[in-house]
Amino acid sequence: MKIPYINLKKQYALEKKKLLKIIDKTFASGNWVGGDEVTTFEKNISNACNVKYCVALNSGTDALTLSLHLLGVKRGDEVITPPNSFVASAATIIHLGAKPVFVDIKDDQNIDENKIENQITKKTKAIMPVHLTGRMCNMDKILKISKKFKIPIVEDCAQSILSKYKNKFSGTWGDVGCFSAHPLKNLNAMGDSGYVTTNNKSLYLKIKNLRSHGMEENRNDISDFGHVSRMDNIQAAILNFRLKNLKQIIKQRRNNVNLYLENLDRKKIFFPKEKFDEFNTYHTFVIQVEEREKLIKYLADNGVGTAIHYPIPIHLQKASKFLGYKKNDFPIAEKQSKKILTLPINQFLRKEEINFICKLINKFYK
């Protein structure tokens, strides 16, 4: 059996007939930058997430950058965030001249909300929780801290479209939610794309303006120098089509997780259980194991692709040297980085394939 970690070719093969019609129609409309599909996408996301506003952008990275900038983050400021995210979370803070102040994580890979307050200083201008793997952070506590210190929250929702905490969607807890629609995400474009959600009208209007040279409504009057961070009409058309199937995709991914959990012998494997107040969408299915490198090789030798999200915590990356962090600063994140292993979870997996992977893993640990 050959089981790839991801299977975008299969996704395209299944969608091809309908997708090509949509692509043709969108190109034929002549609206390639901006257009009806973009506006429809923004309405669709607002409805799906139960939030007032959405702005379609070119990437999750620009969603974070524009949001942090508009909330006032600038040179010399600090932003609190976890060290185990995808590098873009910290990079956006650094590009604004601010410093990512890392806070260690919990068993479930998310920021430890009880360690945030200690890191707040006069320079803290935002808190950026990351809902890693499609599991939301403890937003109740983070919101309380935000209110107490009057520090805005920029949720990194790149991996958490339609995830919920206490029945409320990701991207609707903080001042702004920043999403990615990169091809590997549950709601994926065929290239780079992203979007923000917010209930703040002023922020919404400013992001809309900044994404397009600062000239969204009027090409001649520029009130603020902007960026080119727009979502293409063609990507919006693809996302509108795929959005119709998103709930089904999440259901399938959740079923796949359950199948793994039923069949894996969990004496040697740790997986943080879904809590009663969480609804996890499983952008990734990450287990924590001993002898990870040997297991990866064993699975690869048997045709199973895996991944690691992420093998080097951001504070230990070469690029972070100037921040002054060192080994053992974030012991939980560092320990986890050596144990985490992402198994295939995509919606195209067959039951037999998951059973096969479980049998291999159980055999490896016997």
Q: Is 72 left (phi over 0), alpha (psi -120 to 50) or beta?
A: left
Smallest gap from residue 108 Cβ to ligand PLP (A):
15
Tokens of 309: 């999200």
Residue (6 or 215) nearer to ligand PLP, CB = 6
What is the C-alpha to C-alpha distance for residues 323 and 99, in angstroms, rounded to an integer? 8
Query: Smallest distance, Å, CB 362 to ligand PLP?
Result: 30
Alpha-carbon distance 8 to 6, whole Å? 6
Q: What residues are paired with 53 via a beta bridge?
A: 198
Q: Could you give phi then psi for residue 277, rounded to 5 degrees?
A: -100, 10
- Of all residues in the shown chain, the one whose CB is closest to ligand PLP is 60
Which residue, 158 or 357, is less far from ligand PLP as judged by CB?
158
Nearest approach, Cβ of residue 297 and ligand PLP (Å): 26
Instruction: Give burial (CB, 10 Å; 0-12/13-18/19+) of 32.
Output: exposed
Which residue, 76 or 311, is less far from ligand PLP as judged by CB?
311
CB closer to ligand PLP, 195 vs 356: 195
Smallest gap from Cβ 194 to ligand PLP, in A, equals 5
C-beta closer to ligand PLP: residue 67 or 159? 159
Rounded CA gap, 284 and 254, in Å? 11
The secondary element (H helix, E strand) that includes residue 176 is strand 176-180
Q: Rounded to 5, what percent of the chain is helix, strand, coil?
A: 40, 15, 40
Min dist CB 361 to ligand PLP, Å, is 25
Q: How far is the CB of 314 from ligand PLP (least distance, A)?
A: 11
**Is residue 313 within 8 Å of residue 84, measured between CB atoms?**
yes
Residue 284 or 347: the one with the smaller Cβ distance to ligand PLP is: 284
> Of 81 and 138, which has the nearer Cβ to ligand PLP?
81
Cβ(149)–Cβ(126) under 8 Å? Answer: no
Q: Which residues are within 8 A (CB) of 345 and not within 5 positions of it... i.e. 6 or more apart?
A: 253, 256, 257, 282, 284, 285
Structure-token match 């939980």, residue found: 332
Phi, psi of 215 (to 5 degrees): -135, 40
Vertex 195, ends 237 and 311: CA angle to 5°? 110
CB of 231 to ligand PLP, least distance (A): 11
Nearer to ligand PLP, 125 or 309 (CB): 309
Angle between helix axes 8-28 and 233-243 (nearest 10 degrees) is 120
CB of 313 to ligand PLP, least distance (A): 13
CB 203 within 8 A of CB 210: no
d(CA 325, CA 47): 42
| Omega cis (within 30) before 12 | no
Choose between 85 and 172: whose C-beta lies nearer to ligand PLP. Answer: 85
Which residues of the chain form contacts with ligand PLP (CB under 6 A)? 59-61, 85-86, 88-89, 130, 156, 158-159, 180, 182, 192, 194
**Smaller CB distance to ligand PLP: residue 156 or 175?**
156
Smallest separation, CB 127 to ligand PLP (Å): 15
Task: Report, in Å, the least distance between residue 180 CB and ligand PLP.
Answer: 3
